[in-house]
Each structure stands twice: as C-alpha cells, then as structure tokens.
Structure 1
Amino acid sequence: MRKLIYGMNLTLDGFIAAPGDDISWGGPRNEELFQWWLDHERASGVTLYGRKLWEAMSSHWPTGDQQPGASAAEIEFARNWRDTPKVVFSSTLDKVDWNARLVTGDAIAEITRLRSEDGGPMTIGGATLAGAAMRAGLIDEYAVVAHPVLVGSGTPFFAALDSWVNLNLLETRTFPGGVVLSRYETRR
C-alpha cells in the first residue's frame, strides 16, 4: 500500500494562499527550503493535483529549467516534475499533459485505488482535493511548512473535518527566515 502525503507552504495562521490566490507572502527565495521540497518531490512515485495547483505548476515547471538564472535545484526540480507521473483531478479541464492523466470522476475512489497499489509514496496538493482526502481518512502524513506571516484569511491548508485526526510528530526543522517544517503521521 502506498503512503499518501499532503504538504504545502502555508502562513502561520494556516493559509496556503491569501485572498485572490495571492502567494507572494512566501518572501525571498530560500534555497535550503527549496532543496527540501526537491528532495520531497524526488521521493514521490505519483503526484496528485487539484485543478488550481495543476494550473500553477504546469504554467512554470515544464520549462523551469530553461529560465534565465535557474539554480541547479530549480533545474533538477523541473526535470523531476516532468518525469514524475501525475494525476490531475478536475471536472472543468479537458486535457492535461506533461506525464499526467486527467480524472474527471470520483476523486476519492481513484485516490483509494491508487493508494492500495504497490509503489512509492504519493504526494497530494491543492486545498480542495487534499481536503476531500482528509475527510475520507486517506492522508497518511502531513508536511506543514509554516512561514512567519499572518494573512488573516484565504485558502486554508486544513479542511473542515467530521471527526478528529490524531497525529504523531515525525520531524521538526527550522529553515532560514524562520520557516518551520513540522511533519506528522496519522495515528491509525
């Protein structure tokens, strides 16, 4: 059975985007943190995307290694992004590319099927998709990468839940600029 990991950058008050899908709160480039995300993505056997995150990622990373001034880590991230199998969940998109396939039906049924397969861990991104997986009890690990900023409202990292989810702390790590990673596993 595959492990399903939900991780994203978020504000200290729990938002992955401020109103208007604004993610500029992330501040200046943090190479150590970017390297952590690269290593995290390299370990993924399959990446699951909701539509909004897919559109953001697919607008940059297919050619991210060709951008002027791209760092070695950015070049590797772009290559890894293109090579990693991806599943995009959307009822509004007609097609996807870049080693991805589109699922327009029941996301929870497909995530459950994928999770039951053998293989490396899967990562999931996008608040709506991950929220549905959280409510269905499918998330095995959370990677909370909290930035030292408060935005007051926006798109929350955590979805409203029907019941508590108990977690075990796996790791904490502080990055330059006061960014703190906390990794938790779901207690089953």
Structure 2
Amino acid sequence: MRPLRYAINVTLDGCVHHEAGVAPDEELMGFWTVEMQRADAVLYGRTTYEMMQGAWRRPESGVWPDWMDEWEIPFAEALDGMPKHVVSRTLESVDWNAELIRGDVGEAVTQLKQQPGEGLFVGGVTLPLVLTDLGLIDEYTFVVHPIIAGHGPRLLDGLSERLTLVLVDRREFRSGAVANSYRPAR
C-alpha cells in the first residue's frame, strides 16, 4: 500500500497560507524537491491545484519563466510531470497530467493508496483536514519557519478530534526553519 504523506510550510503561530512569508530559499527548495520525488502522484483540492498549476506548470514555450531561479527548476520539473488527482465539486475538467475526483473522497483516496508505488503526496489546507479526519494520512511533515504571521488559515484548523503524532525525523535549515516529520500514533 502506498503511504499518503502531507507536507506543508507553517509559521510559528500555525499559519499555512502561501503568502505568509515562508517562500523557500535554495536549501529548502532542494528539500521540497526531494519530498516531491518521494511520491508517484500528488493529490490536491481545487484551490491548491490551480495555485500550483499557475506557478509550476511548464509554459507552452517549454521555457521556464524569468522569475524562476535556476534552483527552482528541479522542483518545477518534478511536479510538472507528475500525475495529479484533483478533488473538486466545481471543476468541470482538469489537465496538466490530472484526473478529477468526485464523490466519496475517502473511498477514492483509499483506492489510490492501494495501488503499487512509492507514495502519494497531498498538499493544501482543506483537503488534508478531511483526509486527517478520515485517518488516511500516514505521515506529516511540517516545515516550521521562524515567522509569526498573525493571520491566515491555520494548520488543520477544525480537526474533529485530537491527533497524537510520533516524531520520526527532524531536520534544521540555515534559515532557522525546522522540518519535523511525524506518523500518527496508532
């Protein structure tokens, strides 16, 4: 069974909004590239899918945009070619190597996990909350940045029950960020 991994940047006060000032530097982008490469496919909700597509999809010209630093390209290439599963009630169709998931999310994700492979990666805010409540996430990685955002969506805000986690890995970065990886205590 493929493990489902959730990884996200988070501020000290729990904010997970992509505009909270937690943009990765070269070292962190290398970390995120390796995390992405540990998966066979990604799982996104509509909002995250559209945001990631807008930032990381290879342009039709085949040339990465000027705003992208050289050290961001390996991440972009890893994500661009990866199969994507998009959970949405509002999208009519998806592209960018993507398949639309409608209906029972728990059943669909369970079926994806039962396929052979290295793992699935889930990103975003809302979908991981649903999958956590369903007990489907096997590993959590929170990259905690030394920033206090003061506002924005919070990590797994609204979780129906407390979740106890066991630390399985920890890595410090020069920026002061720390990646903590956990598995649910079963």
Q: Which amino acid aligns with 2:51?
A: A
Aligned to 2:173: 175
Q: Which amino acid aligns with 2:15?
A: F
Aligned to 2:3: 3
The answer to whether residue 27 in structure 2 is matched with residue 32 in structure 1 is yes
Task: Give per-residue Cα distances to partners, 1:9-52, cap 9 Å, x unaligned.
Answer: 111111111xxxx614125x510000000000011111000111
Structure 2 CA distance for aligned equivalents of residues 162 and 74 of structure 1: 36
- Displacement of 1:69 after TM fit? 5.8
Q: Which amino acid aligns with 1:113?
A: Q
Structure 1 unaligned spans of 5+: none
Structure 1 CA distance for aligned equivalents of residues 95 and 142 of structure 2: 28
Q: Secondary structure at 2:21's aligned position in 1?
A: helix
Aligned to 2:116: 118
The answer to whether residue 46 in structure 2 is matched with residue 48 in structure 1 is no
Give the alignment's Cα RMSD to 1 decimal.
1.7
Map 1:138-157 to 2 at 5 A.
138-157=136-155
Q: Which amino acid aligns with 2:75?
A: F
Q: Secondary structure at 1:168's aligned position in 2?
A: strand
Aligned to 1:23: 19
- With the length of structure 2 as denominator, give the TM-score of the two structures: 0.90
4+ residue stretches of structure 1 with deviation over 6 A? none
- Displacement of 1:170 after TM fit? 1.2
Q: Secondary structure at 1:48's aligned position in 2?
A: strand
Q: Secondary structure at 1:156's aligned position in 2?
A: coil
Map 1:127-166 to 2 at 5 A.
127-166=125-164
Structure 2 CA distance for aligned equivalents of residues 163 and 171 of structure 1: 24
Structure 1 stretch 173-182 or stretch 155-164: which is displaced more? 155-164
Structure 2 unaligned spans of 5+: none
Q: Which amino acid aligns with 2:148?
A: L
Judge conservation of contact 1:11–1:146 (CA < 8 Å) in 2. yes
Q: Secondary structure at 2:58's aligned position in 1?
A: helix
Judge conservation of contact 1:48–1:124 (CA < 8 Å) in 2. yes
Structure 1 CA distance for aligned equivalents of residues 140 and 73 of structure 2: 26
Distance verdict in 2 for CA 1:24–1:13, change over 3 Å? closer
Aligned length: 183
Judge conservation of contact 2:20–2:149 (CA < 8 Å) in 1. no
Judge conservation of contact 1:167–1:186 (CA < 8 Å) in 2. yes
Q: Which amino acid aligns with 1:138?
A: L
Distance verdict in 2 for CA 1:55–1:170, change over 3 Å? same
- With the length of structure 1 as denominator, give the TM-score of the two structures: 0.90
